[in-house]
Amino acid sequence: MTTIAPARVALRPGTEELVFLGRSLRHSLRNAEALTMSILLPVMLMLLFTTVFGGAIDSTGGYVDYVVPGIILLCAGFGAASTAVDVATDMENGIMDRFRTMPIRSWAVLTGHVVASLVRNLVASVVVVGVGLLVGFRPNATPLEWMGALGIVALYILAITYLFAAIGLAAKSPAAANGYGFILLFLPYLSSAFVPVDTMPEWLRWISDHQPITPVIETIRGLLMGTELGTRPLWALAWIALILAISITWGAILFRRKAGRR
Amino acid sequence: MTPAIDVRSVRKSFGGTAVLADLDLTVERGTVFALLGPNGAGKTTLINILSTLVRPDSGTASVDGHDVVRESLAVRRSIGLTGQSAAVDGVLTGAENIRMMARLSGLSPRQAKAREVDLLERFGLDDAGRKRAATYSGGMRRRLDLALSLVVTPSVLFLDEPTTGLDTRSRLALWDVIRSLRDEGTTVFLTTQYLEEADQLADRIAVLDRGVIVAQGTADELKRRTGGEVVELRGDADELLEEIPTDGTLSGLRRAIDELDARYDDGAVTLRKPSLDDVFLTLTGSADTSADKKELVRK
């Protein structure tokens, strides 16, 4: 050996999070297919709804302004599902045992995946908004309202990414983790994202009104298009807080229980 | 001085099956200790307990003077672990893996870079350092894995079957690394299925069978308990026709050869040292299993 190995040094606060975020971002960049899909698919969906379905739903051409906030939300969570696969893959790998036997907060591995997902999805959201503006989306929001919309989108991404991370911990394999994600991605279709809820049958309307996606979408719509907000932002924040609390608690329990078992 | 590893009456069951039953074990500092046993003996479970991954059901265990349950953080500061399945990040390159571990051990980016260069060279991975670890061969991955355990020098290093699946050259290289680590003062606790490995490396050996230590001692002490060499008869294609353990005496050897002579017309006779199987079968006293095994060999 050319030099003597240095001694272990106590970590500065936040080192684990930074190192693991760097790791997860490298993973994201090297998974070219997933990266392309996470940007291309939302853009395709945006174009599908605005150009193909739009004319049939609202022949006056105003559908763009209605649907883009919904699409932003639909796409916001699209890339989050891959977090479940990332987490499940890590849990299967011996590297997790290595992290756990080091004097570090190994939970930070998940934080790294979650923050990387937030970064990926925010980039995708910006692209979707950009394409939306190109195809005729005309919001009337002030810069402050834009910030508010961005904030609520970011919180929503964070909440569902943590939920997907917990699903990744609960899944028996990366393939299974991939499958569970599908159900969650279906929820936006049963909300006010694409059509107003009062066009739905009575029983479905009740579900749409009382599921977390609708208040989040209506908040974004209110901020960007100036529709009435009411108590919607409060409901949106409450739902997001609830999803975060449940996901993190559930995840923490699963994470501890899985130590030493693969 | 407290021993490097001290295990007292440790028990562990999974789903009602006892994996470790009332285990006692002491490993002195600065020695290489080999835990020998077949698959399913409980070797990995013991390593998981000592490396704070799994809690014992009862009993106590300490590593580097720290209790593995109550002072797990202190234990984690003292240990390195290279498990059976290579614990490397396949998406990252070898160099990135080393730098990540160095940063997680509190080194500065500059120190991390220096460790990367040193370790890649020491483990013969200079050329592969810029490639993703997923593209490595089994042997290269194992070497990278070991390099990751040595980013900072641990006082106690756990190696779970470190040479399983390695070719001879890699195995010998790994043995050299283990020896030099011991010389630098690291206590090495390794598990293996190979008696030869324990023989070559370990200052002391314990044989684990179904969660119980059935023998402990130096390699020589264990071999004395096993008896003498084994006579093998091999056919033209070097296939094993029959093996007979001897008691190590001249007359015992003659009896074994006479027996083979009476039953076979042809074949080459060799003498070999007792293998893990032989040691193991002697120690666990399962002579019946031994007979069964010979039946299989004869077919």
pLDDT in tens, A23-32: 999 999 998 8
Distance in Å, alpha carbon of B148 to nearest chain A alpha carbon: 9
What's the rounded Cα separation, in Å, for the pair B51 and B72?
8
Which DSSP state fits A198?
G
Cβ density class A240-259: b for 16+ within 10 Å, e for less: beebbeebbebbeebbeeeb
What's the rounded Cα separation, in Å, for the pair B44 and B161?
9
Whether B63 has a pLDDT exceeding 50, the answer reads: yes
Give the type of residue at B287: A
Whether A222 has a pLDDT exceeding 70, the answer reads: yes
Residues B140, A30 contacting (CB under 8 angstroms)? no
Q: Which residues of B touch A (CB under 8 A)?
A: 48, 51-54, 73, 76-77, 79, 81, 83-92, 96, 100, 103-107, 111, 114-115, 118, 121-122, 132, 148, 150-153, 180
Q: Which tops the pLDDT comparison, A195 or B211?
A: B211
pLDDT confidence of B293, banded at 50, 70, 90? Answer: very low
**Residue A133 domain-assigned?**
yes
pLDDT by residue (tens digit) across B97-116?
A: 999 999 999 999 999 999 99
Q: Which residue of chain A is at minimal alpha-carbon distance from B121?
A: A1
Distance in Å, alpha carbon of A241 to nearest chain B alpha carbon: 31
Q: For chain B, what are the domain ranges?
A: 1-88+147-226+291-299, 90-135, 228-273
Q: Which residue of chain B is at minimal alpha-carbon distance from A262?
A: B85
Q: Which residue, among B239, B245, B237, B240, has the nearest Cα to B275 in the 3D structure?
A: B245
Residues A131, A48 contacting (CB under 8 angstroms)? no
Q: What is the pLDDT at residue B35?
A: 93
If DSSP codes are grouped into helix, strand and coil, which group holds residue B33? Answer: strand
Question: In this structure, are strands B79-82 and B156-160 parallel, antiparallel, or unpaired?
Answer: parallel
Q: What is the pLDDT at residue B275?
A: 64
Q: What is the pLDDT at residue B291?
A: 37
Range of the domain at A38: 16-259
pLDDT by residue (tens digit) across B249-267?
A: 888 888 888 888 888 888 8
What's the rounded Cα separation, in Å, for the pair B76 and A103?
5
pLDDT by residue (tens digit) across B36-56?
A: 887 888 899 999 999 999 999
Q: What percent of chain B has pLDDT over 70?
A: 91
Judged by CB atoms closer than 8 Å, whether chains meet at B107 and A6 is answered as yes
What's the rounded Cα separation, in Å, for the pair B268 and B214?
35
**Residue A8 domain-assigned?**
no
Mean pLDDT computed over A241-248: 95
Q: Which tops the pLDDT comparison, A206 or A17?
A: A17
Mean pLDDT computed over A125-135: 89
If DSSP codes are grouped into helix, strand and coil, which group holds residue B215? Answer: strand
**Residue A1 domain-assigned?**
no
pLDDT by residue (tens digit) across B112-160?
A: 999 999 999 988 898 999 999 999 988 888 889 999 999 998 999 999 9
Q: Which two tokens stand for residue B253?
A: 């050897």
pLDDT by residue (tens digit) across A156-205?
A: 999 999 999 999 999 888 888 877 767 677 777 778 777 787 788 888 88
Mean pLDDT computed over B188-206: 89
Distance in Å, alpha carbon of B244 to nearest chain A alpha carbon: 41
The interface pTM score, or ipTM, of the predicted complex is 0.85
Give the type of residue at B44: T
The H or E element spanning position A218 is helix A213-225
Judged by CB atoms closer than 8 Å, whether chains meet at B115 and A19 is answered as no
What's the rounded Cα separation, in Å, for the pair B164 and B162?
6
Question: In this structure, are strands B32-36 and B204-209 parallel, antiparallel, or unpaired?
Answer: parallel
Fold of domain B1-88+147-226+291-299: Rossmann fold (3.40.50)
If DSSP codes are grouped into helix, strand and coil, which group holds residue B244? Answer: strand
Q: Which residue of chain A is at minimal alpha-carbon distance from B89?
A: A95
> CB distance from A17 to chain B under 8 Å?
no
Judged by CB atoms closer than 8 Å, whether chains meet at B86 and A27 is answered as no
Q: What is the pLDDT at residue B295?
A: 35
Residues B272, B229 contacting (CB under 8 angstroms)? yes
Across the interface, of A7, A9, A102, the residue whose CB is closest to B76 is: A102
Residues of B in contact with A8 (CB under 8 A): 77, 105-106, 152
If DSSP codes are grouped into helix, strand and coil, which group holds residue B232? Answer: strand
Instruction: Please report the number of interchain residue pairs, chain A to chain B, with beta-carbon separation below 8 angstroms.
Output: 94
Asked whether the whole model's pTM tops 0.90, one would answer no
Residues A92, A169 contacting (CB under 8 angstroms)? no
> CB distance from A32 to chain B under 8 Å?
no
Q: What is the pLDDT at residue B276?
A: 59
**Residue A82 domain-assigned?**
yes
